[in-house]
Amino acid sequence: MTETTAVTGQRADMVRNRRLLLEAATAAFAEHGVEVSIGEIAQRAGLAKGTVFRHFASKEELLAAITLQLLDQLVRAAKRLLTADDAEAALREFMTDGVELLAADRAFCEVIGRPSLQHSGVRDTIGVLCEAAEALTARAREQGTIRGDVTGTDIVLLLGGIHQTAAPLLATQPQVWRRYLALALDGLRAADAGTLPHPPPGRPHLT
């Protein structure tokens, strides 16, 4: 075996191990929340505990990586829907997909305010998500189907708000979030909309 072949093999192993760790951690955190131990994650991945720390310096770094994956999914969903003819239907689909994704992941709302969300990559991706949601929301505003004072940041915050509202009931009523999503969607409609009592918020820092 040449030195080049050995290095290539080591890199392939590192990529594979990182993928296995992220898959195992994502499943464990989604099912049981953020208190899952590093040891359990390593066991799920079929790797030694020390391997976890070779890829992620702390649990917070691991949580940040998983949070980035979830945020990236939301960004891709928003960008995909930008080409839809019916902007209101596209916004509804984005919000439905977004809250469903959050409802399936017990850990996401548990990491709100944790140091992992101070990670620069997470902060930047939250900004990208707000921009993508604003582009989606702007199309619906232009078509006159939602209230003219709703912003993309409002939409991003509503995703978490709807999930938080339903969270205490999800264990016994896993679809209850759909009720609160429907209430929120009705509030977004342009028809008979009054003036909101507070100006739009800035970009969320989730702290």
Per-residue model confidence as pLDDT tens digits over 74-96 = 999 999 999 999 999 999 999 99
State the pLDDT confidence band at 6, using cuts at 50, 70 and 90: very low
Please give the average per-residue pLDDT across 47-55, as a whole number.
Answer: 90
CB burial of 111-126 (b: ≥16 within 10 Å; e: otherwise) equals beebebbebeebeebb
Per-residue model confidence as pLDDT tens digits over 152-169 = 999 999 998 998 898 888
Q: Residue 207: what pLDDT?
A: 42
CB burial of 30-58 (b: ≥16 within 10 Å; e: otherwise) equals beeebebebeebbebbebeeebbeebbee
pTM, to two decimals: 0.80
Least confident of 27-36, 38-47, 179-188: 27-36
Please give the average per-residue pLDDT across 102-125, as a whole number.
Answer: 70
Are the C-beta atoms of residues 151 and 200 closer than 8 Å to each other?
Answer: yes
Please give the average per-residue pLDDT across 50-71, as a whole number.
Answer: 88
Q: Residue 193: what pLDDT?
A: 65
Position 196 pLDDT exceeds 90: no
Q: Among candidates 82, 60, 176, which has minimal Cα distance to 131?
A: 82
**What percent of the chain is modeled with pLDDT above 70?**
84
Q: Greater confidence, 32 or 186?
A: 186
Position 63 pLDDT exceeds 80: yes
Count of other CB atoms within 10 angstroms of residue 109: 17
Please give the average per-residue pLDDT across 138-151, as a whole number.
Answer: 95
